[in-house]
Chain A
């Protein structure tokens, strides 16, 4: 089992460009999450999908959109990238809810110049 797979691993964008971060899990989990990790700030939730067909905003949703394509896949889109979105992005999944163990991918390191 691959677990949670994120693509790409690295990306450099210019301000104003758009891109989509892809995430897929093979554990048949119901819930999926997108986090960003910045030095000294822990992990901050961007969006989550409690189950297929639903998405909800997290702590820092501005500038992002998500799509729960099916039970396996959850994508994160930056429509017009800004330098403030330079970060490491992690996708995670679990059975259900925030008190179940989260399984993380290995992250996408995004730099916006």
Chain B
């Protein structure tokens, strides 16, 4: 019940295309779902986060879609650019006192 399963492990997308990364969780008590972006040699940085009271959250070209009944959430990157090439991590937590459970990461490469 602790796991967050992230897929795919790696993804190659053409410039201008849509990148989609999926995560699934088991613990129905989770209520905070962030996505972090990590460039080589750097620490992760928060990209966007969602709570289960909404089904979608958009920030620029980045959108989180949330399906509570399926216990899944996904990151969509529209009009993907070479500068989006990075490793993306999903995570989940049930409250501020409960540690984040991280997915294994997706290495995204955007081909020019």
A1 touches B (CB below 8 Å):
no
Which residue of B4, B43, B46, B91 contacts A90 across the interface (Cβ within 8 Å)? B43
CB distance from B57 to the nearest CB of A (A): 14
Within 8 A of A (CB), among B60-112: 89, 91, 93, 95-100, 102-105
- Which of A13-21, A74-82, A92-100 interfaces with chain B? A92-100
Residues of A at the B interface (CB closer than 8 Å) are: 4, 40-45, 48, 58-59, 90, 92, 96-107
The bracket for how many chain B residues form the interface is 20 to 34
Asked whether, in the complex, the Cβ of A42 is within 8 Å of the Cβ of B41, the reply is: no
* Residues on the B chain within 8 Å of A4, using CB: 43
Query: How far is B45's CA from A90's CA once the two chains are assembled, in angstroms?
Result: 12
Asked whether, in the complex, the Cβ of A45 is within 8 Å of the Cβ of B103, the reply is: no
Total A-B pairs, Cβ < 8 A = 62
A interface SS class: loop
Query: How far is B98's CA from A102's CA once the two chains are assembled, in angstroms?
Result: 14
Query: How far is B93's CA from A101's CA once the two chains are assembled, in angstroms?
Result: 12
Asked whether, in the complex, the Cβ of A99 is within 8 Å of the Cβ of B96, the reply is: yes
